[in-house]
Each structure stands twice: as C-alpha cells, then as structure tokens.
C-alpha cells in the first residue's frame, strides 16, 4: 500500500463506504419489512469492512453478502 495504513487507503475507504451504504439500505429494508435475510446481510455489509482490508476479498465478500437475501428466499420458496 506504499506507506499508507490500511484504513487510510482511498480504495479501502471507497469500498467500505459503498458497501456500508448498501448495508444500511438492506438493514433498513429488512427491519421495516420483517425480512431477516436482508437484516442479517445489512449487518454483515456494514461491519465486515472492519475485518477485511484488502480490496479483492472485500469486493467478493460484499457481493456474496448482497446476494444472501436472494439465496435465502430462493431456497425457502423452492420447498413449496
């Protein structure tokens, strides 16, 4: 990172802000609609950037967490 600490890297800050805002939207939607999948995905999206500081894993985990509510809904509805 050429001398910058992980939390001051502009790529890290941009990704953390982007996924954190999406996480806040998921959280608000999940809370208002009573959707536990969106609620959990929102919490994950808002918090995981404190643990993961590298860009590629951050993007992959973020995309996976964004798809989590859809996967939960798909597998819960496929049994009917």
In this prediction the pTM is 0.83
Which contacts (CB < 8 Å, 24+ apart) does range 26-29 have?
26/66, 26/69
Q: Please name the helix (run of DSSP H) or strand (run of DSSP E) that holds residue 13, with its range, or none.
A: helix 10-33
Give CA–CA dist 16/32, Å, rounded: 24
Q: What is the pLDDT along the chain (80 residues), one digit of tens a residue?
A: 455 566 788 999 999 999 999 999 999 999 999 998 999 999 999 999 999 989 999 999 999 999 999 998 888 876 65
């Amino acid at each position: 990172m050429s001398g910058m600490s992980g939390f001051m890297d502009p790529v890290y800050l941009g990704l953390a802000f982007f996924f954190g805002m999406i996480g806040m939207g998921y959280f608000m939607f999940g809370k208002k609609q009573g959707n536990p999948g969106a609620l959990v995905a929102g919490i994950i999206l808002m918090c995981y950037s404190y643990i993961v500081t590298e860009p590629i894993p951050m993007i992959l985990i973020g995309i996976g967490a964004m798809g989590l509510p859809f996967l939960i809904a798909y597998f819960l509805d496929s049994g009917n």
